[in-house]
Amino acid sequence: MANAPKPTPAKNEGSSSASNLFATLVIPICIIIGICIFKFVLGDANNFIDNNVENLPKQGNYAGMAYKGGPIVAILIGLLLMTITFSVERMIVISKATGKGSLQAFVTKIQGFLKTNNISSAIAECDKQQGSVANVIKSGLKKYSEVETDSRLDVEQSVLAIQKDIEEATTLEMPMLEQNLTVIATLVSIGTLTGLLGTVTGMIKAFAGLANSGAPDQAALAVGISEALMCTATGIGTSTLAIIMYNILTSKIDKLTYAIDEAGFSIVQTYASTHK
C-alpha cells in the first residue's frame, strides 16, 4: 500500500509550479512599479523649487530628496516591494499550512485521542483542522490503522512503517513552505549591495562637484550627497525588512515542523505502548 495519498505529489507539483510562476511574475512587476513610483511620484514637479525637476527639492520635501537619489532608488523601491510581496505571500502559505485552528490546541487534541486509542476521532480532527500539518499527521494515523490490521508485521516493523510514512508525508508537504524564502534571503544581500552602489555613484558625483575649477559646484555637491544618503537609507531599510521577515518566516516553519515531530512521536509511542 502507498504510504501517502496518491494525489499529494501531483498537488504539490502544481503548487510548486504556481509558486515558481508567482516569483517569475512578481520580480519584473515590482521593478516596473518601482520605476513608475520613482518617475511619477517622487519625480513630480511639485516636489521641486519652481516646479522644475532640474532644481533642488523644496525644503523638507522627502519625495524630491529621494528622486535626487538617482535611478538606483527606483531599483531599490522595486526590491523593497519584492520583499513586502514575497513576505506576505509566504505568510499566507504558512497560515494555510497551519490550518484553521490553534496548532498547539490541535496537537493536544490529537494526543488526547491517541491516549484513548481513538484513531478515527483523531483522523476526523485532522479533517477539521486541514493544512499541511494536519495532512502529515492524518497520513501517519491512517498508516497506524493499516499496520494494526496487518498480521504480517511485528511491533517493530509496524513502528518503522508509521515513522517512514510520516517522514514521507513531511517530505511532500513541508518543502512547499520554504519556497521563495531564498528570494527573501537573497534580497538581504542585494538590498545592501544596491544601496552601496548608489552610495558610491552619489559620492562620485559629489567629488566631481568639488573637482570643478574655481568655486565648487554646490548644486552638484548637494545632489551627489543626496543620492549617496538616499540610496544608503533605502538599501539598509530594504535589507533590514528582509532580515526581519526571513527570521519570522523561518521561525513559523520551525514551529510547524516541531508540531509534526511532536504529534508523530505521540503516534509512534502510542502504537508501541499499546501493541507490546
Determine what percent of the chain is predicted with pLDDT higher than 90.
34
pLDDT digits (tens, 9 = 90+) for 16-72: 677 678 888 999 999 999 999 999 999 999 998 888 888 878 888 888 888 888 889
The CB-based long-range contact list for 147-150 (8 Å cut-off, 24+ gap) reads 147/271, 148/271, 148/275
190-221: burial string, b at 16+ Cβ within 10 Å, e else: bbbebbbebbebbeebbeebeeeeeeebeebb
The average pLDDT across 241-250 equals 95
The pLDDT value recorded for residue 212 is 62
pLDDT band for position 216 (cuts 50, 70, 90):
low
Q: For residues 214, 217, 218 and 220, what is the CA-based torsion angle, rounded to 10 degrees?
A: -160
The pLDDT value recorded for residue 180 is 85
